[in-house]
């Protein structure tokens, strides 16, 4: 993968490609640095762990039993 930041002076941009990329199909994506970041509002997600509910009343933890091998 190559990541290069350029500031074009004209409508045409040239860049060098590594030898191992020659002959392979490349995808080139161009966008301005920070494009779309200031337009996106971060929404706060409400997280809830209600998929499982267990009634633990009446259960006692036995450390000796838990440490048995």
pLDDT at 45: 79
Do 46 and 35 touch, CB atoms closer than 8 A? Answer: no
pTM recorded for the entire structure = 0.42
pLDDT at 34: 78
Of residues 37, 17, 41, the one with CA closest to residue 27: 17
CA 48 to chain centre: 22
Indicate whether 11 belongs to any domain.
yes
CA dihedral 59, 60, 64, 67 (to 10 degrees): 50
pLDDT at 62: 86
pLDDT values of the chain reduced to their tens digit, one per residue, 69 residues: 888 888 889 999 888 889 999 999 999 888 888 776 665 566 677 877 777 778 888 888 888 888 987
Residues 50-62 have pLDDT tens digits of: 777 788 888 888 8
Number of domains in the chain: 1
Helix (H) or strand (E) holding 67: helix 63-67
Please state, in angstroms and rounded to a whole number, the distance separating the CA atoms of residues 69 and 64. 10
Indicate whether 64 belongs to any domain.
no
Indicate whether 18 belongs to any domain.
yes
Domain that holds residue 4: 1-38
Indicate whether 43 belongs to any domain.
no
């Amino acid at each position: 993968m190559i990541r290069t930041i350029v500031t074009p002076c004209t409508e045409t941009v040239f860049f060098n490609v590594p030898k191992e990329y020659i002959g392979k199909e490349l995808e080139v994506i161009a966008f301005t640095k920070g494009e779309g970041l200031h337009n996106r509002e971060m929404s706060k997600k409400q997280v809830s762990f209600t998929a499982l509910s267990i009634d633990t009343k009446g259960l006692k933890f036995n450390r000796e039993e838990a440490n048995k091998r």
